Structure 1
Amino acid sequence: MSKRNTSVKPPLITPADFFSSEKDKTKINWFLFEYAAEFDSKIKKTLRTKLKRKKIGNKQIAEFCIHYAKHMKREILDKLSGKVENVSLSYQPIEDFFPLLNDKLVDKLLTAAGEAWEAITSMCVNCPTRCISEKDQKAPMFDDLFYYE
């Protein structure tokens, strides 16, 4: 009888990717962590297969989702301060991170970014954490080991 691999792989995106010191453990950075994880989940198997053909594996995809989420911080803060009317999702961070991807794959990643944005912001309506309206407050979830397992 063969043994099934029951080991659980640690997540590729963790809260630790979104703070470098205690002062960075804010609710806005928690939101960015949640967005990166949601973005990663929206990259479907078919797109992952196409990216794998370009030598882009799950680890690089996770690193990219983190990069893209961090890029969104400026957009979100500009929206909150009234500098811009709407948050814009851009292809530029995709091309910066993956300069050799063709336009079709960039577009598919941008579509996934949009789907993740819609999903995460619709969840915010019911979430009691208030990551956006209380953006500068400490997010205690950063210290919860559950999110690192």
Structure 2
Amino acid sequence: MWLDCACGARHWGRFGAAGVLLADDNGRVLLQHRGHSDHAGSWAIPGGALDPGEMPVDAALRELREETGIAPSAVSVVGTRATCEHVAWTYWTVLAQPVRAVTPRPNSESRKLRWTHFDDVGALALHPDFRLAWHETLFRWARWKVL
């Protein structure tokens, strides 16, 4: 399911990829310590490849359920943003908030899941693409939309 991009990089998901930046009212986001996937051992948000014809929000919420056990009905989507765009590939970040108490449970793709305060995210060993997106746009966007 890799796409060889004109930029010289390989991207996961022939049709693009999407993930959920789940942020709560306490200024925390849910992060995934990646398991056996690319950049294993780094921190990022739950997400993965879009299926053919799948919309980014649907893919992101599907991946959230698969990787954390959190049902789409337990969150409210606040916004969607393309955070990594190439000619033939895009990564979409879906910002969402829990609408009720959630208890994340990692699946086989995650070493662990944890709530991390916005201000502490940048100090972690982040997935390189997530690190770039976090520092360039996601930190300000999420704080503005959620807090």
Q: Common fold, TM-score beyond 0.5?
A: no
The alignment's TM-score, normalised by the length of structure 2, stands at 0.32
Relative CO higher for 1 or 2, CA cutoff 8 Å, sep ≥ 6? 1
Structure with the bigger percentage of helix: 1
Structure with the bigger percentage of strand: 2
